Structure 1
Amino acid sequence: MNQPSLSYDFLTATLQDQPPVAREWPLANGVTARWRERGILELVPPQLDDHTDRVLISCGVHGNETAPIEVANGILRDIEQGRLPLAVHLLLMFGNPDAMQAGERYLDYDMNRLFNGQHAKHPATREAQRAAVLENAAAAFFEQAPNGCQRLHYDLHTAIRGSVFERFAIYPYLHERDYNREQLCWLESADITTVLLHSQPAATFTYYTSRHCQTDALTLELGKARPFGQNDLSRFEGINQALRRLLSGQRDPLPAFANERFQLFRAKYDLVKHSDQFRLYLHDQVENFTLLEDGFVIAEDQDVRYQAHGGNERILFPNPKVGNGLRAGIVIEPVAI
């Protein structure tokens, strides 16, 4: 076990599964650190009241998406050493430590398809067990939040597949709630102006916290996935600085929302792989948000044909290698709110 101190490296300790001796210890500037589970650290600011925002930052849900982990660890290090003041109540999660250590997306099952109770269907997998831990930690964190505070969750990712728009956000399905335009403008301050508005429930972490913890939650896709130490972190400076401003209480006025400054899309329908006969007629390296020509046959599966209509649809997350019954891609279309 590691003795907690200002030099306690949370990322290294998470990867090596070395919990601290004490579950709670002081940091610089009056911040209190609380170790919750492996890879889960709560930071309590020196001033705490009913209006102090609660913020969950998660990364490493896919273990090979390392740049967001490095960004989050840099922020944590600066809070620990007093270089970055903390004005929010923060919960930081490194989602899948075993996969992070192995340099793999996942070990047994894609964790971001195991939230919202789906982990109960795959109890023997390591990711299902970990997803339950993350859900419980998030629920406990937000359950204690006063009614007057803002609840935010940013789940940070990168991707192996290229994208027409390098950075984009996914807004989980909100049911009866309205989109938070202030959050969309905050995304713009992080150099993210492409947003997918989901149109149905999902098994993602952000859908879980949005639905069950009443958070304003966003999945952020921030660029290319590379191994630890091989990331050009200058390409992540937008989200890095936006998070630092948020956590330190710098609330610069944001411009009013306007549709024309964003590329907003909604999920039109899923490409579902029903059988081993599924064929996707897109090349292996097709980029996310590639435009689909009117009439183009996207995929076929037995007697099911998926065909593009209108010339303004795009493809997102194409993957013909998923198991039968799972989503092999999403067809999206432009939308305004």
Structure 2
Amino acid sequence: MTSSAERGMSGSMLDDFLAYTLAGSRPEAHAMKGTCVSGVRWSWLDDGVLQLEPATQEEGTRSVLASAGVHGDETAPIELLSYLVRDIANGAAALTCRLLVILGNVDAMRDACRYRDDDLNRLFSGRHAQVPDSHEAPRAAALERAATQFFDIASAERGARWHIDMHTAIRASAFERFALLPHTGRPFSHAMFEWLGEARISAVLLHTTKGNTYSHFTAQACGAEACTLELGKVRPFGQNDLTRFAGADEALRHLLAGINAANGAKGDANAALPRAFTVIDQITKRSEAFELRVAADVPNFTPFVKGTVLACDGDYRYVVSRDEERIVFPNATVKPGLRAGLMVVETTQDTLSSLV
């Protein structure tokens, strides 16, 4: 039986998981798991890592990893997850599946910065081993282990494993809310597109090569239906208008409750689904001589016409070769060797017709 002291400690953790995590609090060994008044079972697994499970589970129960704060300054989704934990714990939000909540780069969150040494969202799928001295390397390895252990005992049925990794963007975008889907070699999921539509996502960027983001890792190594969400603008803690994130918040709560698009039912109208854009190339910064020939504040998904020179670096040029290409994540300040922009073209009709 859970003691009143243990209930009080778990209450403070679950009532404000963000504050508990930012404070560096850790439960005593005897108080790392418990049961909420709602009947949901919880387990504190690591700094910023909390597992929640419904009182009863059926065979094939969905397993959902919901993460935020992989970049420490992207605070709104972190706040949403903390409120979600509170509402599940007190019974205000339904939970019918296994849930792993992860607050990613906790040290950067505490420092109110994006990262300390290296972008954590470029260190997954083992890339952290290439930068062993980086402050972020151990965290990347820990988050890989957390995801692997969570999904290792999850149902292998199609659509039973999900990962929603929530971010906010540094710059404006032609589409305020968009998603990125990792490349796995498998067809993209109609259920995921339906869920993204419910989350009021306007556009989806489809990767065509493997990457080192957290959602790439869970898709490739864990077999999850995974996505990265870009939901708005970077703001400090306490300065977010969370009503602007209501679509994603409601869709995630529906997914966890097992209702609406979470059931994977195909809709009749493709018009309700997001537009799709496929990556056709990457602009890479090769040296400090790199020059990105776009305005510093150019929005994501800005279109450019054929013949436009977008980047120069010594003998290297990136010239738009199609009638229209759009740039996403332009950033000339990255380290040499890293991506300074993604080039995409619209493929909505072909993409929607090939969903499974």
TM-score, shorter chain, exceeding 0.5: yes
Partner Cα distance (1:255, 1:285) in 2:
37
Are 2:13 and 1:4 aligned?
no
Equivalence for 2:354: none
Equivalence for 2:22: 15
Normalising by structure 1, report the TM-score.
Answer: 0.96
Q: RMSD of aligned C-alpha atoms? A: 1.6
| Structure 1 residue 310 displacement after superposition | 2.9
Normalising by structure 2, report the TM-score.
Answer: 0.91
Unpaired segments of 5 or more residues in structure 1? none
Tell me the alpha carbon deviations over residues 288-322 of structure 1, each in whole angstroms, 9 at most, x when there is no partner: 00011221110111111111133320001111111
Superposed structure 1 runs of 4+ greater than 6 Å apart: none
Q: 2:43 aligns with which of 18, 34, 43?
A: 34
> Among the aligned pairs, what percent are the same residue?
43
Aligned residues: 336
Tell me the alpha carbon deviations over residues 213-269 of structure 1, each in whole angstroms, 9 at most, x when there is no partner: 000000000010100010011100000111111112223655246378432111111
Structure ranking higher in helix proportion: 2
Asked if the contact 1:185/1:256 (under 8 Å) is kept, the reply is: no
| Structure 1 residue 182 displacement after superposition | 1.3
| Structure 1 residue 110 displacement after superposition | 0.3
- Partner-residue secondary structure (3-state), 1:55: strand
Tell me the alpha carbon deviations over residues 162-211 of structure 1, each in whole angstroms, 9 at most, x when there is no partner: 10100000000012x11101110110011013000001010100000000
Partner Cα distance (1:164, 1:82) in 2:
38
Partner Cα distance (1:103, 1:94) in 2:
14
Unpaired segments of 5 or more residues in structure 2? 352-356
Partner Cα distance (1:218, 1:88) in 2:
18
Partner Cα distance (1:83, 1:258) in 2:
33
Residue type of the alignment partner of 2:116 = L
Matches within 5 A, 1:23-102: 23-102=32-111
Partner Cα distance (1:257, 1:167) in 2:
20
| Structure 1 residue 62 displacement after superposition | 0.2
Equivalence for 1:273: 285
Are 2:283 and 1:250 aligned?
no
Asked if the contact 1:6/1:81 (under 8 Å) is kept, the reply is: no
| Structure 1 residue 147 displacement after superposition | 2.7
Partner Cα distance (2:173, 2:207) in 1:
18
Partner Cα distance (1:260, 1:290) in 2:
23
The verdict on how the C-alpha distance between 1:75 and 1:95 changes in structure 2, with shifts beyond 3 A counting, is same
